[in-house]
Amino acid sequence: METTEATHPAAATLTTPVGIIAVTSTRMAIVRVEWVDADSEPTPDDENPLLTEALGQLRAYFDGRLGEFDLPLSLDGISPVATTVLTVLADTVDYGATVTYGELAARSGTGIPARAIGSIMGLNPLPLLIPCHRVVAGDGLGGYSGGHRGVGLATKRRLLELEGALPSPLF
């Protein structure tokens, strides 16, 4: 993951099975992914090829045609420890797999406790692209701050079902 200065950011939205997401990009890196309400849609920038590519890759992900994103990402403004944890997550937990908070803490080599991993996941400025939804508790799903307010855990479940990491509910 590269770090770049956020110059001339542009944003666009995409309607997905888990709500409307906004993607913000400079010409050099994707800097933010977040859930937004329909009335807060940013104006797309058709002159930003990276933003266009990111939206295309997200469409392919939700259509089940893409399991790994290939985009330059920026974690500028995130602490070095959080950057390490998020980078390890992105590099070692593949589509359709999960990792526990404790396992990710150990993999990161940062010496932080498992409970701190949840806080770092909540700081992730690039959910979906850095798959914090794949981090689960040892005894269940754990939490999720992605998705629209009040439906974070349902969003996490839906993403894991989409990737085949959880069975779809029968009812």
How much is the average pLDDT of 12-31? 93
Residue 107 located in a structural domain: yes
Residue 144 located in a structural domain: yes
* DSSP string for residues in 35-67: E--GGGPPPP-TT-HHHHHHHHHHHHHHTTS-S
Residue 56 has pLDDT above 70, yes or no: yes
Residue 133 located in a structural domain: yes
- How confident is the model at residue 5, as a pLDDT? 42
Residue 128 located in a structural domain: yes
| Tens-place pLDDT, residues 103-121 | 999 999 999 999 999 999 9
CATH of the domain at 150: 1.10.10.10
- How confident is the model at residue 8, as a pLDDT? 76
Between CA 103 and CA 68 the distance in angstroms is 21
Q: Are 160 and 166 in contact (CB under 8 A)?
A: yes
- How confident is the model at residue 135, as a pLDDT? 96
Radius of gyration of the chain (CA): 15
What pTM did the predictor assign?
Answer: 0.90
pLDDT band at 2 (very low <50, low <70, confident <90, very high): very low
- How confident is the model at residue 18, as a pLDDT? 95
Q: Average pLDDT, whole number, for the chain?
A: 90
Residue 111 located in a structural domain: yes
- How confident is the model at residue 118, as a pLDDT? 93
| Tens-place pLDDT, residues 122-160 | 999 999 999 999 999 988 899 998 888 889 999 999 999
Residue 163 has pLDDT above 50, yes or no: yes
Residue 150 falls in the annotated catalytic set? no
Domain count, the chain: 1
Q: Of the residues 105, 120, 132, 159, which is catalytic?
A: 132
